[in-house]
Structure 1
Amino acid sequence: MDTAADTGLEVINAQSDAAFAARRVHIRDVAIQMEGMQRIAHAFVENPDTILLELANAAVELCGADSAGISIEKEDRTEHDFYHWVATAGQYTGYLGAMLPRYPSACGICLERGQPQLFRVGKRFFDIMGIEAPPVTDGILLPWEAGKTRGTIFIMAHGRTEAFDQDDCRMMQVLADFAAMGVRQQQQQKLLLEQASATAAAAMANDLAHKINNPLQSLTNILYMAAEGHTAADAQTIGRQTSDDLKKLSTLVNELLALPYRKLI
């Protein structure tokens, strides 16, 4: 655990925290989950420029969060402007574009550890930053990496102390993989636009997006059947089915991320 009373940050490794493992699993609205996944799929295929924003919005909806966001280490970073919030949703929507220092930073601890982290942020931190924002009473922060670009994706609650559970952590891992894929897709598109034609860039983006469409479609189908009452499966069974599809989806995304850039063109 990293508890810094002087900075107002508390960051705990989620995978080794017994209290987090013992939390009761929350029941989520499958219709909302289905809609979130459908929007992610649509963004990858039709509007890749919006994928990071869609992921932040989906994180709020899929995990019942009050706020969510995605940060990236700036290319021209300085100690004072190190992390760039490139997507925000929920109560933190107004902080889109915010720049945070290298220290103090929950993002930095998360990237250093390379694993999902639980975090809380108190008033002291915001006083140091010179901003006013709702405190984070419960949050999950995950790292992602796309080539030489690194960042985090996070969900937050601003009043509840046990807002999230292990299912939320698994869902966020998939969204973290998508964030890496989205950044890589945008980087590839930018490179192709610089070196070739817009047609070639669009072809690459479509090819990449369609590779992840099948497992996404399978997941949304399960959620649709549950939402419409067309299945006799209970919540636990549906949870297992969606968990299996999430694992397949995460595996596929990681395989795509491991490919050299030139193979995606």
Structure 2
Amino acid sequence: MQIPHLGLDAVIATEELNQRPSRPPDHAEEAQALLTLTQALSAHPEEIFQQLCLTARKLTRAESAGVSLLNAGAGRFVWPAVDGGLANYVKAGTPSDFGPCGTVIEGRRPVLFQHPERHFDYLASITPPLEEVLLSPFFLKGEPVGTVWAVMHTAGKKFEPEDRRLLDSVASFAGLVYGVFLDTKTLAPYMEVAPGDSRG
């Protein structure tokens, strides 16, 4: 069945997210999660992007989560780590000029997409399906360099405003990690585009 192509605004539901009821913040859980990330960055920095995904998924109760890094030279966002139902797509990515991550980077703020494949048609081949995708950008010296994203695959499962706040928190930590890796010249391996990745 052919998926109808919609305009970008038709697949963005950020304003709807703002109107949804939300659970109260659990600041203790959030603080513990950030402490765990800090410890992981110190003890096992090579695993920190995966830990960011695990944390984003747990805090937002998502079914998948990932990190996207902007590789400007390749014109792509690269996914160095993915957790959950989309884990098989690690090292894949999306075009920097036509995709959810690019939209978020351009707007410099979180965005909620519903069925983004209805606009970004190359996403239609991804399984499990993308019911809702919530993305938050992170920055280095004020410039956006990547996103942290969370996904619901099950029809009817939806994000809440609290999930956006929590994803923002994880994204802020991701920006810190990016800066550390850049300073220690250890970022390059995470920016590599997978051979044969022609998505988009």
Distance in 1, matches of 2:7 and 2:109, equals: 24
Percentage of matched positions with identical amino acids: 24
Distance in 2, matches of 1:176 and 1:71, equals: 11
Deviation at 1:23, TM superposition (A): 1.5
Uncovered stretches (5+) of structure 2, i.e. residues with no partner = 187-200
Query: Once superposed, what is the RMSD of the aligned Cα atoms?
Result: 3.0
Larger Rg: 1
* Residue of structure 2 equivalent to 1:43: 40
Give the alignment of 1:24-63 within 5 angstroms: 24-26=21-23, 36-63=33-60
Query: Match of 1:190, SS?
Result: coil
Distance in 2, matches of 1:99 and 1:22, equals: 31
* Residue of structure 2 equivalent to 1:260: none
Deviation at 1:40, TM superposition (A): 1.0
Correspondence for 2:63 among 63, 66, 91: 66
Distance in 2, matches of 1:72 and 1:37, equals: 20
Q: 1:137 to 1:77 in 2, by over 3 A?
A: same
Distance in 2, matches of 1:140 and 1:129, equals: 15
Deviation at 1:21, TM superposition (A): 2.4
More helix by share: 1
Query: Match of 2:11, SS?
Result: strand
Contact 2:130-2:151 within 8 A present in 1 as well? yes
Uncovered stretches (5+) of structure 1, i.e. residues with no partner = 192-265
Query: Match of 2:185, SS?
Result: helix
Is 1:190 aligned to 2:185, yes or no? Answer: yes
Correspondence for 2:111 among 94, 109, 117: 117
Distance in 2, matches of 1:117 and 1:37, equals: 22
* Residue of structure 2 equivalent to 1:153: 148
Distance in 2, matches of 1:123 and 1:166, equals: 23
- Structure 2 counterpart of 1:76, which letter? G
- Structure 2 counterpart of 1:23, which letter? R
Distance in 2, matches of 1:87 and 1:38, equals: 20
Distance in 2, matches of 1:178 and 1:138, equals: 23
Number of residue pairs aligned between Structure 1 and Structure 2: 181
Deviation at 1:50, TM superposition (A): 1.9
Q: 1:149 to 1:164 in 2, by over 3 A?
A: closer
Give the alignment of 1:177-256 within 5 angstroms: 177-190=172-185
Contact 1:146-1:183 within 8 A present in 2 as well? yes
Contact 2:57-2:83 within 8 A present in 1 as well? yes
Q: Which moved more, 1:66-75 or 1:97-106?
A: 97-106
**RCO higher in structure (CA 8 A, sep ≥6):** 2
Deviation at 1:101, TM superposition (A): 1.7
Contact 1:11-1:109 within 8 A present in 2 as well? no
* Residue of structure 1 equivalent to 2:98: 104
Distance in 1, matches of 2:124 and 2:60, equals: 29
Query: Match of 2:175, SS?
Result: helix
Distance in 2, matches of 1:109 and 1:127, equals: 15
Deviation at 1:151, TM superposition (A): 0.9
* Residue of structure 2 equivalent to 1:128: 122
Distance in 2, matches of 1:103 and 1:120, equals: 19
TM-score normalised by the chain length of structure 1: 0.59
Contact 1:28-1:62 within 8 A present in 2 as well? no
Q: 1:156 to 1:132 in 2, by over 3 A?
A: closer
